[in-house]
Amino acid sequence: MRRLIYLLPIAAFMALAGYFVVSLSRDPSVLPSAMINQPTPAFALAGLEGQPGLARDEFQGQVVLINFFASWCVPCRSEHPLLMRLAAELKAPVYGIDYKDKPEDAARFLSELGNPYGRIGADRDGRVGIDFGVYGVPETYVIDKSGRIRLRHVGPLTPADVTRELAPLVKELQKS
């Protein structure tokens, strides 16, 4: 029994090594979000070039998707076809917030690739982004009927993210 104490350092080493192995596959650029389950920050943004804008109080009581994007953002381009599909297939409105962008550039971006957004707010100085805790575009948020942020996705969405996480969550939130 006393001999077992000599195995303790080995056990401790194995535990540490196991933790490091698991941590290797973690992406350190994905940060924990402080905004999960918090109420959506209040905002009211003007639209792009004469189109209606986007304000938080307009979509209360609905499950919505909010996508931060910008015409200058390369990963946003790769994510775009998926957003087009979501807008058609997901039974929830998809809204866009154009982050630190020139309205004319955003308009060109959308006319080139298509517009998946039911509404777009132009966050020209990035303050609404800071209120959401955004640190890079694209970021996607799912907001529930009570106006709380339930999901935050940093970086471009992939089809796997949608089928595994986003679509089931939206469905579940709409039932409640």
Partner 1 sequence: MRAILLATMMALGAASALAVEPGERLADPALEARARALGAELRCLVCQNQSIDDSNADLAHDLRVLIRERLSAGDSDAQVLQFLVRRYGDFILLRPPVKPGTYLLWFGPFAVLALGALAAALYLRRSRRAPQQAPAPLSPDERRRLQKLLAEDQG
Residues forming contacts to partner 1 in the complex (CB under 8 A) are 28-29, 31-35, 100, 125-127, 130-133, 135-136
Question: Which residue matches tokens 């996705």?
Answer: 153
Q: Whose Cβ is closer to partner 1: residue 73's or residue 173's?
A: 73
Least separation, in Å, of the C-beta of 100 and partner 1? Answer: 7
Least separation, in Å, of the C-beta of 1 and partner 1? Answer: 17
Residue 54: C-alpha distances to residues 9, 50, 114, 176 (Å) = 58, 12, 19, 25
Q: Whose Cβ is closer to partner 1: residue 20's or residue 160's?
A: 20
Least separation, in Å, of the C-beta of 71 and partner 1? Answer: 15
Give 143's strand partners.
Answer: 64, 149
Residue 152: C-alpha distances to residues 8, 22, 101, 165 (Å) = 41, 22, 21, 11
Q: Whose Cβ is closer to partner 1: residue 116's or residue 129's?
A: 129
